[in-house]
Amino acid sequence: MDNITSLAGRFPDHFIFGVATSSYQIEGATREDGRGPSIWDAFSNMPGRVHKGHNGDIACDHYRLWEQDLDLIQALGIDAYRFSIAWPRILPNGVGAINEAGLDFYDSLIDGMLERGLQVFPTLYHWDLPLNLMGYGGWTDRNTADAFAHYASVVMKRLGDRFDTMTTFNEPWCACHLSHLLGIHAPGEKSMQATLEAIHTMNLAHGKAVQAIRAERSDIPVGIVLNAMSITPASDDTADIEAAERAFQFDNGVFFGPIFDGAYDKELYDELGSMLPIEGGDLATINQPLDFWGFNYYTPMKVADAKTDSSRFPHTKTITATQRNDRTDIGWEIGAFGLSQLLTQVYDRYDLPPVYITENGACFNTDINSEGKVHDEKRIQYFDEHIEECAKVIEAGIDMRGYFAWSLMDNFEWAEGYKMRFGIVHVDFDTQIRTIKDSGYWYSELAQTHRSIADGKDESGNAVVADTDYS
């Protein structure tokens, strides 16, 4: 494992080390202060949808404990906090009356961040669609794009003067593919038609929201976060190589293409375009110039050809991606190479702005020992390998601006409920006691060492920080 000082020293002086969370996963207080219900409130309480019927009613109780949580981030010496704003707190019905109490909460949260010297990285949408909009079709209804743009405008008017960046969507792949094709996430549909409609509506909502954000605050850097898939063909056979390209178009190109090129990929469009509800001017609206994009990376993907007369696009099957076959406790393969592989691929294919790693982390369900400690060495190794890969990417010439660890603390892990833990801080969900894990101390030292190196360079740019090892 790399020495922390040597690893930290490989990043540019202004590189940001942050932590990330999302509203429904941590806030709780789902029925308080005027917040309306979201699709995840409904989905979580449907039998069989979420592990043991868990829901986000309390989660990490961050709505009440936010000051304590910000103190924790400050104590860790982290540069920035990436969080999401709950649309149902701001506009309980998705449209119509504004809930000032919801804006008050984020007003206080953001002021608290600034008081603690934290950079403010909000996301407008991390999957908690107001339930009222689902009654009209949710993301399959293009009116939702206009509702989202209005929501963006409301947020920017009240809070935008203190943002360092603004992100429209977090992982539209999950909100489309997992939610409308595979049925794993809310609203739990299994329809290719609904998936393609949701993809286009969400792309359109992104473009309209970027316009709304810039109309209110033209000085705020705007971007989107994509959990792009790092896809490798199963073999050198032409069929598998072509399968990998189809998988790229289906999982990545449906977002990268319209957003950065103003067009859907031809092969995908030829097969599925009739289900994309494109109207005149849509692609120009979607294709807004962005100041950055975020990449969420966890695991690599390998595909083989599975094209038959009855198969549907992308006509692939997923197979084991790595030789190591190491997996996290949620079952995802570990392969840091996929991070640099995907970035190299997309920067070759598209004209992209600078990138942040907006989520990266691992699920290891290590619990507190008898001494009150959490020795999660596997998570430290995971972070070390992936942050090393980030350093390589930067050295290869890609403009990466920051890295956000997922997650600040254990939280509601969607369909997995509370059984899967990604945090660098352990949460006892019965008592709400937070305990910093070994990985939290490791990441804290990395962030603080990087800042010390950047602050401590002499006039020639040489670091004057003593070398220290984590133990």
Neighbour count for residue 139 (Cβ, 10 Å): 28
Check: CB of residue 352 under 8 Å from CB of residue 302.
no
Has residue 304 been placed in a domain?
Answer: yes
Two structure tokens written together for 366: 């290590």
- pLDDT, position 462: 61
Has residue 253 been placed in a domain?
Answer: yes
Name residues whose C-beta falls within 8 Å of residue 208's C-beta, 6 or more positions apart in sequence: 145, 146, 148, 149, 285
Two structure tokens written together for 177: 């593919």
- pLDDT, position 324: 80
d(Cα 423, Cα 173) in Å, to the nearest integer?
Answer: 22
Query: Looking at 27, 171, 389, 413, which residue is catalytic?
Result: 171
Has residue 467 been placed in a domain?
Answer: no
Has residue 466 been placed in a domain?
Answer: no
CATH number of the structural domain spanning residue 97: 3.20.20.80
- pLDDT, position 468: 35
Two structure tokens written together for 115: 């008081």
Which residues is 316 bridged to in the sheet? 305
Query: Looking at 27, 333, 359, 413, which residue is catalytic?
Result: 359
Query: Under DSSP, is residue 404 helix (H, G, I), strand (E, B) or coil?
Result: strand
Pinpoint the alpha helices (H) of 234-281: 238-248, 254-256, 266-272
This prediction's pTM: 0.96
N residues, the chain: 471
Element (H, E) at 379: helix 377-395
Q: Residue 261 phi/psi, 5° resolution?
A: -115, -15
d(Cα 221, Cα 167) in Å, to the nearest integer?
Answer: 9
Our count of domains for the chain comes to: 1
Query: Under DSSP, is residue 249 helix (H, G, I), strand (E, B) or coil?
Result: helix
d(Cα 246, Cα 229) in Å, to the nearest integer?
Answer: 12
Has residue 463 been placed in a domain?
Answer: no
Instruction: Clarify whether 171 is annotated catalytic.
Output: yes
Two structure tokens written together for 49: 């949808």
Residues of the chain whose pLDDT is less than 70? Answer: 1-2, 457-471
- pLDDT, position 467: 39
- pLDDT, position 461: 55
Per-residue burial over 370-399, b if 16 or more Cβ lie within 10 Å, else e, is: eeeebebebbbbbbbbbbbbbbebbeeebe
Has residue 379 been placed in a domain?
Answer: yes
Neighbour count for residue 341 (Cβ, 10 Å): 18
Could you tell me the residue range of the domain that residue 174 belongs to? Answer: 4-455
pLDDT (tens digit per residue) in 204-256: 999 999 999 999 999 999 999 999 999 999 999 999 999 999 999 999 999 99
Instruction: Clarify whether 359 is annotated catalytic.
Output: yes
